[in-house]
Amino acid sequence: MGNLTEEMVKAGVVLMAGGLQPSPAGTRITYSGGKSPVIDGPFAETKELIGGFALVKAKSKAGALELARRVAELHIKAGIEGELEIRPLFGSAELESAQP
């Protein structure tokens, strides 16, 4: 994984990446019904938990998928099971138009 990350950094496609500490170190704020309670981890009933992230610059969705597949292949070879999610970021124009 280190070699792939280094390769992607040198290619200028990785803007930021990092691992997240386990859920006992986490805190959640839920918001519903006009309330927003704060809940400290661990989150024992969590079915899905994010373990890390990477912010990459890709020219297309296909390019992002190719990078994700390469990461998944490394995890498969290491016997690690998981899931990767790919999402585009909002651009500044999209954020400006979304504000009231």
User: Residue 10, Cβ neighbours under 10 Å: how many?
Assistant: 9
C-alpha of 52 from chain center: 6
Strands in 49-100 per DSSP E: 52-56
- Tell how far CA 99 is from the center of its chain: 24
Residue 44 main-chain phi, psi, to 5 deg: -65, -30
pLDDT, tens digit, 9 for 90 and up, residues 14-53: 888 888 898 899 998 989 999 999 999 988 776 778 888 9
In CATH, the architecture of 2-98 is: 2-Layer Sandwich (3.30)
Judged on CB neighbours under 10 Å (0-12, 13-18, 19+), 67 is buried
92 pLDDT exceeds 70?
Answer: no
Average pLDDT over residues 2-9: 82
83 pLDDT more than 80: yes
Residues above pLDDT 90, as percent of the chain: 37
